[in-house]
Amino acid sequence: MGLTDHGVRAVLDVVLTREEDVVSYWDLPVRLWRYNLTLVVADGVKALDTAISRSGIKVARQTCPVHLKRRVDRRVRDALDLLLSLAESVPTRGSPLLPPRPQGGPSSGQTTRPALQ
């Protein structure tokens, strides 16, 4: 899965393999390189992490929240659910929920704060 500049999720690529080894995942980072990735979210497969490291592509890595939740106990899972729900409610760059940025600034003579009365 990938995330566009507008916050839309998109499937970038799919790998179907019989085994989870480095050879099976070797060409995935190379195919995904054209997307100029900054973050890879995966299910925790060590072979994929090794393939990314060996490819030389500099990209941040994160475990998929769903797979992470499956590996933790109930109290941690509840806390993670709360954090994820809070994170999903925060508007992202390009979100229609964010107010437009002011056109003026201190150098244009316009103030960005309301006047005090």
Report the share of the chain in percent with pLDDT over 70: 72
Q: Which CA distances in Å does 10 have to 1, 18, 109? A: 5, 25, 42
Q: Is the pLDDT of residue 111 over 50?
A: no
Report d(CA 72, CA 65) in Å as an integer.
Answer: 11
Select from 89, 92, 101, 67 the least CA-distant residue to 3: 92
Select from 14, 15, 62 the least CA-distant residue to 38: 62
Tell me what pLDDT residue 113 has: 47
Least confident range of 2-16, 44-58, 63-77, 84-98: 84-98
Across the chain, what does the average pLDDT equal? 73
Select from 31, 24, 33, 12 the least CA-distant residue to 51: 24
Q: What is the pTM of this model?
A: 0.48
